[in-house]
Amino acid sequence: MDTANSSRAAQGPVRAVIFDLDGVLVDSEPNYLESEQRLLADYGIRFTAQMKRQYIGMGTREMLDDVASRFGIPERVDVLVARKNAYYLEIAARSTKTYPQTRRLLMLLHEHGYPLAVASGSSADVIEAVLSAASLSGYFDALLSAESVARGKPAPDLFLAAARRLDIEPEGCLVIEDSSYGVQAAIAADMRCIAVPYVLDAPLDDQFSAADLLVSTGMTGLRPDEAFAWIRSLT
């Protein structure tokens, strides 16, 4: 565990926890990259891992809208999203890697009765399929997808929708995120945030410093029992 930000300590107690999916519960970025490479290869575009880095944490629709604009793809974004999701589900069915650290934290929160949600920039069918493949489907009270709101991360809409679904005020929610877009969305929603960066390029994006708890070494540095104790201290 790493650094805690006390600048927003006046917030109320944590009553619910909202997990991002990709890069937090599951290491899905390699699968997403492969699905995007397959999709864009259909249009003659070689999409590299380096090109992908700027989009990590962004919603699928927002990413493909930008990529289509950059490369002049004439297809409607809805069609691109559907085709990418089809590729992704095929790939994810072969292999979905879960993070033991966040699985352990999820189990502790579930055992202690915290309302739990997933709020992800992925589509609803992708979220359900990945959680099923990871044997995590039964632990969440709400699943929110990019299709649930008008604006994806870094807008706060997705997290605010999750709070409404859980019937908990935003100030009582804590978000666990791996991207600067997600941290920005959590702060804009007036929620606490644990940031576990997926991309560890130095220096880290400045947005990560706004998180209430930053694990600057990423998932390898997350200690689930310590994180749970920290959450309990805010409860």
Residues identified as active-site:
20, 22
Q: Which of 174, 172, 106, 96 is nearest to 140 (CA)?
A: 106
The sheet with strand 16-19 has its strands ordered as: 3-4, 213-214, 192-195, 173-177, 16-19, 116-119, 142-144
Tokens of 36: 């995007």
Partner residues linked to 118 by β-bridges: 19, 143
Q: Which of 152, 159, 120, 142 is nearest to 25 (CA)?
A: 120
Distance CA 198, CA 217 (A): 9
Tokens of 232: 């309990």
